[in-house]
Every structure is written in C-alpha cells, then in structure tokens.
Structure 1
C-alpha cells in the first residue's frame, strides 16, 4: 500500500452506515473518496473492466485523498476496487457464474452444513454472482484461493475485488453493475477460509494409505488406526476411514463420535475433524455432486435465495 499509516481494525473501519453510503454512491469516484476517508484503501481499474490501472495493482491501493483525487482526475471513468484481507478488513467469498455452471449449490450446501455463517453484507456482481463480504478477523491471515470446479473463489490476503457502483462488460457485450443488495442487521460472522476450502475441495488420496487396517470396516479398529496416525497422514487417513464407515452404512453421528475422538488423539482439532468427516460422507453417499449434475438454477433465482 502507498500509505504508511496503520489501518484501524475491521470493526472500527466498517459499519452498516458505511455500507449504506457505499450502496447509495452513484459514481466509482464517489465510492473511492468515501472509503479512503474511512481508512479503506482503494485503487482504480480500467473503465468497464476489472484490470487495475496502477502499475502494481492492488499493492498501490491508497488512503491518501490527494492520491485518490489525482487518480480520478486522470481516469474519470475508472472503476473502483479495494484489496481484500488484512489491508481492507474484508474477506470475500466470491460465488461465480459461468456458462458451465455456478457456485450457488456449493455455497448453500456450506451454509446448511454450518461452515459458512452470515456475512456483513452481500454484493451482486455483473454476472449475477455474489460477493459475500465478511469482516476480517484481525489476528488471522487468510490467503486467497480458488476452487474452479465448484465456481467459488476466496478473496483474502493477496486479492482484491471491484466495488459498487462499478460497471463491467460481460462476455455477451452487455454491461452489468456491482450492487450492494443486502446488509446484516445483526452481528455478522467471520469466515474460516481454510475450513470452507476443505469442505468444497476435500482431500482425495490418490492411493489408499500405506498402513491400512487389516480388519475391514469395524469402527473400533478404524478408530484405533486413525488415533495412531502421525502429522502429515492424519487428514488423509481420517478421510479414508470416514469413507469406509459411510460405505458400510454407519450413521454419520456414529462416525463423528468414534472417528472424531480418535482424530483428537492424533492431534486434529474437533472442527477440522468434523469438516473432514462431513466431506467424506458427502462424497461417499453422493450428496456432494457438482451443481452441473442436475442442472444449475438460474442465476437470479439463486441470488434471491441467499439472504441475510
């Protein structure tokens, strides 16, 4: 960033009132000036595009009102964007819409499973996707990632998003706008990006673990084996054992109890263990099929179905 001032915490910078002002901004320049004044760094992007206009992209984002004013004097039609993660105090779960599918089924499944709480606000993107905007946990660094086959991206440290009221030209040459469509009226949740990624893209061993149990799928033997696993083997081993229990017809709550306790002995956290067991059961019981399998919901229907 181009400023040396220490940014305030997420809760100090962001408030429902600030997001309301962002929603009411009519020009990208107006939004840029508003956010910079609130200690949120911004930078310009090419008009009707997502490409940064500055030399170093989001790393040039600034809080300096003179710099912001100079950028928009130079490029009056520029879109406005901000870096995500610690820099701005906002983590974004990006639900994409592509010709081959969209990420709504995956996100709704994550919410139903308790792995994705309520964001502080939501932005409808020009493609009818969603930006779920979460307040960044100030003591945690969460790098950006993508899960292309589920059409979901995470924009945290090392990423950026284009902001309302910017406009972008779509593949069909139509022009769409970024719009704030929902603002939380209650205390929003943060997002555990690592857990969400493991849920969307669970570990899939390319081969069975080398030290397999030799007694089939008895829960007590599987649990004893999981408890003996060392670091580097634990997640894959727990995933494999969970799949075996699911395939044997064991109930999920039984697997969570038996294997969860064993994974705790091996050194995994309860949350990490539960996420891995859930992922295994979803795959083994074919509940985690891609959204393209049975046809994707129309994007606008899906947008309307996700509410705070």
Structure 2
C-alpha cells in the first residue's frame, strides 16, 4: 500500500492524518499536527505536491496514546518495557508497530475525557506520546545508517486497555527522597537486610517500584539472592502497597539484570509477546 492510499484509508476511518518530510519526522504542513485532517481532497493535494511524504497522526484526544520504545547504541528501552508489561502497566494494547530503530510503538485507545500530555523519560529510552504529540505510522520510512527503513504493523491486540501515563512515568522514575540505609562492614548481614527491607516498606507512593528494584539489585550483587532474603524484601514491598504481581516481576527483573539466579516466582504470569 502506498502512503497516499494508507492516508486515505486512515481518513476514511475517521483518523486525521498529516504529512512529514520524506525520510524524516519533521512536518511539512505549516502548523504541524494541528493541520491533521480527514478531508480526502486535502490529503490528495499534499501527496500531489509531496509524493514521497511520510505519514503521521496526532496522538491523544479521541485517537490513540502511544508508548514509544527506542533502541539506540546508547541503550535500549526493551528490558524496561518488559518490566512494565510484567507489572501490568501495558495490558490491552490495540496494536504494536516495529520502528526503524528496532524499537516499538504500542498503541492504546484513549479516554476522550481524560487528557494525558506527552512526555519523555530521560535515560529509559521510553517516551509517551499523548496530547500534544504525534507519531509516524506505517508505511512511513526514515533514513538510517543502513538505509531507509519502514514502520511496520507487527501485531494487533484486544484494544481493551487504557495506558495510565502517570503511573507508567512513576514506574520509570528512579527513587527519590532519603538515601537507603548504610551497608558498611559495621552492620551485620542480617541487620543490613532487615534495614533494607524496612526502607523498602516505608517508601512513598510513586517511588516504591523503583526502590524495590534498586534494593533487589543490591541483594543480588551481594550474592544473597537466596529465597529467605528475597522473601524478606518481597514482604516489605507488599507492605508498602505494591501488588504481588508487580513485586514478583520487579524482583525477577533485578536478579536478571545483575546476572544472578532469579528467586522462585510467587506468581507465574504468561508472556505477552513484547520481546523483540
């Protein structure tokens, strides 16, 4: 399908579109995504003028919210994406698109009455495209060091879920506030783990998952990932208000990150196909 044909089919389905520079993401229209339209005559005019234009849609509003995952030489957002999925933050996506970077766009239906602004999470390689944002859509292509590469639809989902952008951003944010308890040689091993568990149990909302991940990494680094210590950490995280599935997934992810054996999972959760 050509980009012109795709644009007309999106528009016929009620999804406004606009055009961007060939091989890139910069809008060609004067007002960018604000010029998005479902008018076939306007779309035809754009492609008559710019036959190789890329195709884009505004995000948010009554359309789609998009979780944008990048894969770059400086790092990949895919491991964090799998952690967020295991924590139940990405259930019910409508479709999944592979991007030229090797990353993914996860599309979620929106709630028109609920505004969720676009944001970028520094260092995680995961961004959110909601109100005030836009994304290129298939069959658009961008220039890469290896040559032009396309956006491709790779899966469709139930479309039953709505992504909570605020909760996702808190999940991606490193813990803030008081420093964790000291871990020097003056403390016994038991006192160290009990102190760490107390710290996890008393973390404020918005930092609990990231704090648990940090603490579980410290346990794995010390070679103390045996079940009794991780159970202590697990119970502390549950007392803080985290859900059992989220706790299990986060501890497992920390153990894998450090390279230690994972603790026995409390809950087994089926995979959702979010791996590359």
TM-score higher than 0.5: yes
Contact in 1 for aligned 2:70/2:103 (Cα 8 Å): yes
Aligned match of 2:44:
69
Which range is displaced more, 199-208 or 46-55?
A: 199-208
Aligned match of 2:97:
123
1:35/1:241 Cα in 2 relative to 1: closer, same or farther (>3 Å)?
Answer: closer
TM superposition shift of 1:250: 7.1
Aligned residue for 2:44, secondary structure, equals helix
1:250/1:109 Cα in 2 relative to 1: closer, same or farther (>3 Å)?
Answer: closer
Contact in 2 for aligned 1:97/1:129 (Cα 8 Å): yes
1:130/1:187 Cα in 2 relative to 1: closer, same or farther (>3 Å)?
Answer: closer
Distance 1:124 1:238 in 2: 28
TM superposition shift of 1:239: 7.8
Aligned residue for 1:195, secondary structure, equals helix
Query: Given the alignment of the two structures, is residue 83 of structure 1 paired with residue 64 of structure 2, yes or no?
Result: no
> Where in structure 2 are the equivalents of 1:187-206 lying within 5 Å?
188-205=160-177
Query: Given the alignment of the two structures, is residue 255 of structure 1 paired with residue 236 of structure 2, yes or no?
Result: yes
Aligned match of 2:129:
155
Distance 1:242 1:183 in 2: 31
1:242/1:167 Cα in 2 relative to 1: closer, same or farther (>3 Å)?
Answer: closer
Aligned residue for 2:123, secondary structure, equals helix
Q: TM-score scaled to structure 2, two decimals?
A: 0.71
Aligned match of 2:88:
114
Aligned match of 1:175:
148
Distance 1:156 1:193 in 2: 9
Aligned match of 2:262:
none
- What number of residue pairs does the alignment pair up? 241
Contact in 2 for aligned 1:43/1:60 (Cα 8 Å): yes
Aligned residue for 1:127, secondary structure, equals coil
Distance 2:135 2:258 in 1: 25
TM superposition shift of 1:48: 1.1
Distance 1:130 1:238 in 2: 23
Contact in 2 for aligned 1:27/1:166 (Cα 8 Å): no
Contact in 1 for aligned 2:108/2:159 (Cα 8 Å): no
Aligned match of 1:135:
109
TM superposition shift of 1:107: 0.6
Q: Deviations over 1:106-144 (max 9, x none)?
A: 111111122221411111111221111111123321111
Aligned match of 1:300:
none
Q: TM-score scaled to structure 1, two decimals?
A: 0.65
Distance 1:52 1:126 in 2: 18
Unpaired runs of 5+ residues, structure 1, are 1-25, 209-215, 261-272, 292-303
> Where in structure 2 are the equivalents of 1:219-298 lying within 5 Å?
235=206, 249=229, 251=231, 252-260=233-241, 274=243, 278=247, 286-287=254-255, 289=257
Contact in 2 for aligned 1:242/1:259 (Cα 8 Å): no
1:250/1:36 Cα in 2 relative to 1: closer, same or farther (>3 Å)?
Answer: same
